[in-house]
């Protein structure tokens, strides 16, 4: 069936008589569908390369997408090869078997988001950690900018990235209250992390193993006796060694 004129108006002109399947297959338009999530219904857009954006299904999300991309959205089913994995990816906070389309991004931006997708559920990492992981330790501000413009939140879990001082910070998908809700949903205990940030605790050590970790790391959270440190250098001075799981900075 051909695209109706009112649908084309949502995303700019499309040649008359063009079928929806051709528009989707050639990239003149993108598909979308609605999915449940921990923060309410979300709209996921996709093309033959993979998921391209994720947004809250609130207000005129079709118009928001067009303003950002200049493309029309067509309600459609995601490609059969990975459509069934999308709900799992949204809930788990990782792409998993779902491809993501990062072509509009720079190499640095895409690299930062790929590393972000590796942050374990229920844990957080500061900007400076991401900067170090992508071998650009001075790029903490640039990392923050990538987080604020992440096109595929929830699946590329920027809600698990916090400020370098440990405070939770803002969140592009609906604001900081949704970030706190997501972290609570995942068991990260953001209230505890905020208390540690106010106390300027950057890492914590397991008194028995003499390993120090970022405060949200599951390794130190399972420890029976924990000591707080202001930074990794202080932990090193006390004879602690860095955790190989969270690689604290």
Closest CA to 160 of 198, 130, 196: 130
How far apart (Å, rounded) are the C-alpha atoms in residues 14 and 37? 32
Closest CA to 188 of 129, 123, 125, 126: 123
- Is 158 one of the catalytic residues? yes
Report the DSSP pairing between strands 29-35 and 72-75. parallel
How far apart (Å, rounded) are the C-alpha atoms in residues 40 and 193? 25
Active-site position among 158, 213, 217, 243: 158
CB 123 within 8 A of CB 160: yes
Residue recorded with tokens 């389309």: 101
Over its C-alpha atoms, the chain yields an Rg (Å, rounded) of 21
Categorise residue 247: left if φ over 0, alpha if ψ from -120 to 50, beta otherwise: left
Neighbours of 143 (CB within 10 A): 27
DSSP annotation of 120 reads P
Catalytically annotated residues: 158
């Amino acid at each position: 069936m051909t695209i109706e004129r009112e649908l084309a108006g949502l995303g700019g002109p499309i040649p008359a008589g063009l079928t929806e399947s051709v528009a989707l297959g050639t990239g003149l338009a993108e598909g979308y569908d609605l999915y449940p999530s921990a923060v309410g219904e979300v709209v996921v857009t996709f093309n033959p390369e993979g998921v391209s954006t994720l947004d809250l299904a609130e207000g005129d999300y079709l118009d928001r997408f067009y303003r950002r991309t200049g493309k029309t959205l067509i309600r459609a089913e995601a490609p059969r090869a990975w459509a069934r994995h999308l709900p799992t990816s949204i809930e788990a906070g990782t792409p998993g078997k779902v491809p993501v389309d990062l072509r509009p991004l720079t190499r640095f931006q895409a690299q930062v988001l790929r590393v972000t997708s590796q942050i374990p559920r229920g844990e957080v990492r500061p900007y400076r950690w991401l900067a170090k992981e992508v071998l650009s330790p001075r790029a903490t501000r640039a990392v923050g900018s990538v987080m604020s413009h992440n096109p595929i939140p929830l699946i590329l879990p920027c809600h698990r990235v916090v400020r370098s001082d440990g405070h939770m910070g803002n969140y592009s998908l609906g604001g900081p209250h949704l970030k706190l809700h997501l972290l609570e949903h995942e068991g990260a205990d953001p209230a505890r992390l905020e208390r540690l940030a106010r106390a300027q605790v950057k890492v914590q050590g397991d008194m028995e193993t003499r390993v120090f970790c970022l405060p949200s790391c599951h390794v130190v959270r399972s420890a029976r006796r924990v000591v707080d440190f202001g930074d990794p250098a202080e932990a090193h001075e006390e004879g602690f060694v860095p955790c190989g799981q969270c690689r604290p900075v």
